[in-house]
Chain A
Amino acid sequence: DAGITQSPRYKITETGRQVTLMCHQTWSHSYMFWYRQDLGHGLRLIYYSAAADITDKGEVPDGYVVSRSKTENFPLTLESATRSQTSVYFCASSPIRLGDTQYFGPGTRLTVL
Protein backbone atom coordinates (compact mmCIF):
# COMPACT_ATOMS: atom_id res chain seq x y z
CA ASP A 1 0.00 0.00 0.00
CA ALA A 2 2.05 2.92 -1.30
CA GLY A 3 -0.37 5.70 -0.28
CA ILE A 4 0.87 8.98 -1.66
CA THR A 5 4.26 9.29 -3.31
CA GLN A 6 6.25 12.16 -4.77
CA SER A 7 9.10 12.21 -7.24
CA PRO A 8 11.79 13.23 -7.40
CA ARG A 9 12.59 13.62 -3.70
CA TYR A 10 15.38 16.07 -4.46
CA LYS A 11 15.87 18.27 -7.50
CA ILE A 12 18.39 20.94 -8.42
CA THR A 13 17.66 23.08 -11.46
CA GLU A 14 18.67 26.39 -12.95
CA THR A 15 16.77 29.63 -13.28
CA GLY A 16 14.56 29.65 -16.36
CA ARG A 17 14.28 25.89 -16.75
CA GLN A 18 11.01 24.01 -16.69
CA VAL A 19 10.65 21.39 -14.00
CA THR A 20 7.79 19.04 -13.15
CA LEU A 21 7.16 17.52 -9.76
CA MET A 22 5.11 14.35 -9.72
CA CYS A 23 2.50 13.22 -7.22
CA HIS A 24 0.74 9.86 -7.24
CA GLN A 25 -1.84 8.46 -4.81
CA THR A 26 -3.25 4.96 -4.64
CA TRP A 27 -6.31 5.69 -2.48
CA SER A 28 -8.56 7.06 -5.24
CA HIS A 29 -9.02 10.22 -3.17
CA SER A 30 -11.04 12.90 -4.92
CA TYR A 31 -9.06 15.91 -3.75
CA MET A 32 -5.39 16.57 -4.27
CA PHE A 33 -3.29 19.55 -3.20
CA TRP A 34 0.11 21.11 -3.73
CA TYR A 35 1.81 23.10 -1.00
CA ARG A 36 5.14 24.76 -0.58
CA GLN A 37 6.79 24.97 2.81
CA ASP A 38 9.25 27.74 3.60
CA LEU A 39 10.80 28.85 6.86
CA GLY A 40 8.79 31.70 8.29
CA HIS A 41 5.75 30.97 6.14
CA GLY A 42 4.65 27.49 7.04
CA LEU A 43 2.62 25.57 4.47
CA ARG A 44 1.04 27.58 1.67
CA LEU A 45 -1.44 26.19 -0.82
CA ILE A 46 -0.43 26.50 -4.46
CA TYR A 47 -3.20 24.65 -6.29
CA TYR A 48 -5.79 22.05 -5.54
CA SER A 49 -8.01 19.73 -7.53
CA ALA A 50 -11.46 18.37 -6.75
CA ALA A 51 -11.40 15.66 -9.42
CA ALA A 52 -9.88 14.82 -12.77
CA ASP A 53 -9.82 17.89 -15.02
CA ILE A 54 -10.93 20.22 -12.19
CA THR A 55 -8.31 22.49 -10.64
CA ASP A 56 -8.38 25.70 -8.60
CA LYS A 57 -5.83 28.25 -7.49
CA GLY A 58 -4.68 28.43 -3.92
CA GLU A 59 -2.86 31.15 -2.05
CA VAL A 60 0.35 31.31 -4.15
CA PRO A 61 -0.33 30.00 -7.70
CA ASP A 62 1.82 32.39 -9.74
CA GLY A 63 4.59 30.66 -11.67
CA TYR A 64 3.01 27.21 -11.35
CA VAL A 65 0.84 25.07 -13.59
CA VAL A 66 -1.06 21.91 -12.66
CA SER A 67 -3.02 19.28 -14.49
CA ARG A 68 -5.10 16.31 -13.46
CA SER A 69 -5.88 14.03 -16.37
CA LYS A 70 -6.14 11.01 -14.07
CA THR A 71 -7.51 10.85 -10.53
CA GLU A 72 -4.33 9.35 -9.14
CA ASN A 73 -1.84 11.83 -10.56
CA PHE A 74 -1.43 15.54 -9.92
CA PRO A 75 1.79 16.93 -11.45
CA LEU A 76 3.04 20.42 -10.62
CA THR A 77 5.06 22.26 -13.27
CA LEU A 78 7.27 25.29 -12.82
CA GLU A 79 7.30 26.69 -16.35
CA SER A 80 10.33 28.95 -15.84
CA ALA A 81 11.88 28.33 -12.46
CA THR A 82 13.01 31.25 -10.31
CA ARG A 83 15.19 31.30 -7.20
CA SER A 84 12.18 32.30 -5.12
CA GLN A 85 10.67 28.92 -5.95
CA THR A 86 13.39 27.15 -4.01
CA SER A 87 11.35 25.33 -1.38
CA VAL A 88 10.06 22.01 -0.14
CA TYR A 89 6.94 20.97 -2.00
CA PHE A 90 4.31 18.70 -0.52
CA CYS A 91 1.50 16.95 -2.25
CA ALA A 92 -1.57 15.90 -0.27
CA SER A 93 -4.87 14.18 -0.87
CA SER A 94 -8.20 13.92 0.93
CA PRO A 95 -11.00 11.43 0.43
CA ILE A 96 -14.31 13.05 -0.34
CA ARG A 97 -14.97 16.54 0.87
CA LEU A 98 -12.82 19.61 0.67
CA GLY A 99 -12.67 19.84 4.44
CA ASP A 100 -11.60 16.27 5.04
CA THR A 101 -8.31 15.42 6.65
CA GLN A 102 -5.43 15.69 4.23
CA TYR A 103 -2.75 13.03 3.90
CA PHE A 104 0.67 14.25 2.85
CA GLY A 105 3.41 12.82 0.70
CA PRO A 106 7.08 12.82 1.77
CA GLY A 107 7.93 16.05 -0.06
CA THR A 108 10.26 17.19 -2.81
CA ARG A 109 13.13 19.50 -1.98
CA LEU A 110 13.67 21.79 -4.96
CA THR A 111 16.67 24.09 -5.32
CA VAL A 112 16.75 26.67 -8.09
CA LEU A 113 20.23 28.04 -8.76
Chain B
Amino acid sequence: GESVGLHLPTLSVQEGDNSIINCAYSNSASDYFIWYKQESGKGPQFIIDIRSNMDKRQGQRVTVLLNKTVKHLSLQIAATQPGDSAVYFCAEISGGSNYKLTFGKGTLLTVNP
Protein backbone atom coordinates (compact mmCIF):
# COMPACT_ATOMS: atom_id res chain seq x y z
CA GLY B 1 0.00 0.00 0.00
CA GLU B 2 0.92 3.63 -0.16
CA SER B 3 2.34 5.59 2.76
CA VAL B 4 2.16 9.20 3.76
CA GLY B 5 5.11 11.13 2.43
CA LEU B 6 5.69 8.93 -0.62
CA HIS B 7 3.59 11.07 -2.94
CA LEU B 8 5.42 13.55 -5.07
CA PRO B 9 3.69 16.76 -6.09
CA THR B 10 2.48 16.24 -9.62
CA LEU B 11 1.90 18.50 -12.59
CA SER B 12 0.01 17.33 -15.63
CA VAL B 13 0.09 19.43 -18.80
CA GLN B 14 -0.90 19.12 -22.43
CA GLU B 15 1.77 18.81 -25.07
CA GLY B 16 2.67 22.26 -26.34
CA ASP B 17 1.65 24.08 -23.17
CA ASN B 18 4.13 25.84 -20.91
CA SER B 19 5.00 24.21 -17.57
CA ILE B 20 6.00 25.90 -14.35
CA ILE B 21 7.56 23.84 -11.57
CA ASN B 22 8.16 25.45 -8.20
CA CYS B 23 10.64 24.90 -5.43
CA ALA B 24 10.89 26.50 -2.01
CA TYR B 25 14.34 26.45 -0.50
CA SER B 26 15.25 26.77 3.13
CA ASN B 27 18.72 28.23 3.51
CA SER B 28 19.06 31.97 2.99
CA ALA B 29 22.85 31.46 2.72
CA SER B 30 22.49 29.25 -0.36
CA ASP B 31 24.27 30.91 -3.25
CA TYR B 32 23.87 28.43 -6.09
CA PHE B 33 20.82 26.60 -7.34
CA ILE B 34 20.41 23.81 -9.87
CA TRP B 35 17.46 22.17 -11.55
CA TYR B 36 17.72 18.47 -12.35
CA LYS B 37 15.53 16.18 -14.45
CA GLN B 38 15.26 12.52 -13.56
CA GLU B 39 13.63 10.06 -15.90
CA SER B 40 12.45 6.71 -14.62
CA GLY B 41 15.35 4.35 -13.96
CA LYS B 42 18.01 6.94 -14.69
CA GLY B 43 20.26 9.27 -12.75
CA PRO B 44 19.49 12.99 -12.35
CA GLN B 45 20.43 15.09 -15.34
CA PHE B 46 21.52 18.73 -15.11
CA ILE B 47 19.10 21.18 -16.77
CA ILE B 48 20.03 24.70 -15.74
CA ASP B 49 21.61 26.55 -12.87
CA ILE B 50 21.53 30.04 -11.39
CA ARG B 51 23.70 31.93 -8.93
CA SER B 52 22.22 34.00 -6.14
CA ASN B 53 23.32 37.27 -7.75
CA MET B 54 20.88 36.66 -10.60
CA ASP B 55 17.09 36.71 -10.80
CA LYS B 56 16.61 34.93 -14.09
CA ARG B 57 18.50 32.69 -16.43
CA GLN B 58 17.40 31.25 -19.74
CA GLY B 59 18.40 28.12 -21.55
CA GLN B 60 16.97 26.26 -24.46
CA ARG B 61 13.20 26.08 -23.78
CA VAL B 62 13.85 26.47 -20.05
CA THR B 63 13.98 29.49 -17.77
CA VAL B 64 14.84 29.56 -14.09
CA LEU B 65 13.58 32.36 -11.86
CA LEU B 66 14.97 33.06 -8.42
CA ASN B 67 13.18 35.11 -5.77
CA LYS B 68 15.51 35.42 -2.81
CA THR B 69 13.03 37.48 -0.81
CA VAL B 70 10.66 34.56 -0.43
CA LYS B 71 13.28 31.83 -1.04
CA HIS B 72 11.53 30.53 -4.11
CA LEU B 73 12.84 29.01 -7.29
CA SER B 74 10.86 28.12 -10.40
CA LEU B 75 11.55 26.25 -13.61
CA GLN B 76 9.60 27.21 -16.70
CA ILE B 77 9.52 24.83 -19.64
CA ALA B 78 8.22 26.27 -22.90
CA ALA B 79 6.24 24.19 -25.38
CA THR B 80 6.35 21.09 -23.19
CA GLN B 81 6.94 17.83 -25.03
CA PRO B 82 6.24 14.20 -24.07
CA GLY B 83 10.01 13.71 -23.61
CA ASP B 84 9.88 16.26 -20.80
CA SER B 85 7.90 13.84 -18.64
CA ALA B 86 10.08 13.16 -15.61
CA VAL B 87 10.67 14.11 -12.00
CA TYR B 88 12.18 17.56 -11.63
CA PHE B 89 13.93 18.68 -8.50
CA CYS B 90 15.92 21.64 -7.37
CA ALA B 91 19.15 21.67 -5.41
CA GLU B 92 20.47 24.48 -3.24
CA ILE B 93 24.13 24.84 -2.44
CA SER B 94 25.85 27.00 0.12
CA GLY B 95 29.59 27.10 -0.40
CA GLY B 96 32.56 28.24 1.58
CA SER B 97 33.77 26.46 4.68
CA ASN B 98 30.27 25.23 5.53
CA TYR B 99 29.49 23.49 2.29
CA LYS B 100 25.96 22.17 2.21
CA LEU B 101 23.96 20.79 -0.66
CA THR B 102 20.29 19.99 -0.24
CA PHE B 103 18.01 18.44 -2.84
CA GLY B 104 14.29 19.02 -2.93
CA LYS B 105 12.02 15.99 -3.10
CA GLY B 106 10.87 16.68 -6.62
CA THR B 107 7.80 17.23 -8.79
CA LEU B 108 6.49 14.67 -11.23
CA LEU B 109 5.71 16.27 -14.59
CA THR B 110 3.40 14.31 -16.92
CA VAL B 111 2.91 15.55 -20.46
CA ASN B 112 -0.25 14.39 -22.19
CA PRO B 113 -0.08 14.05 -25.98
CA distance A102 to B31 in the complex (A): 15
A99 touches B104 (CB 8 A): no
Residues 61-81 of chain A, each 1 if its beta carbon lies under 8 Å from chain B, else 0: 000000000000000000000
Given A40-B3, A98-B95, A99-B93, A104–B105 Cβ distance below 8 Å?
A: no
Closest to B31 in A: A99
CA distance A48 to B49 in the complex (A): 21
CB-CB under 8 A from B95, the residues of chain A are: 97-99
B43 touches A90 (CB 8 A): yes
CB-CB under 8 A from A106, the residues of chain B are: 42-43
Distance from A35 Cβ to chain B, minimum over Cβ atoms (Å): 8
CA distance A90 to B36 in the complex (A): 14
Distance from B86 Cβ to chain A, minimum over Cβ atoms (Å): 13
Known: A39-B5, A45-B101, A104-B43. 18 other contacts (CB 8 A): A39-B6, A40-B5, A40-B6, A40-B105, A43-B89, A44-B103, A92-B43, A97-B95, A99-B31, A99-B32, A99-B95, A99-B99, A101-B34, A101-B46, A103-B46, A104-B36, A106-B42, A107-B43
CB-CB under 8 A from A42, the residues of chain B are: 89, 103-106
Name B's A-contacting residues (CB within 8 A).
Answer: 3, 5-6, 31-32, 34, 36, 41-46, 49, 89, 93, 95, 99, 101, 103-106
CA distance A101 to B93 in the complex (A): 10
Closest to B4 in A: A40
A98 touches B99 (CB 8 A): yes
Closest to A101 in B: B46
B3 touches A105 (CB 8 A): no
CA distance A94 to B57 in the complex (A): 21
Given A40-B5, A107-B42, A101–B105 Cβ distance below 8 Å?
A: no
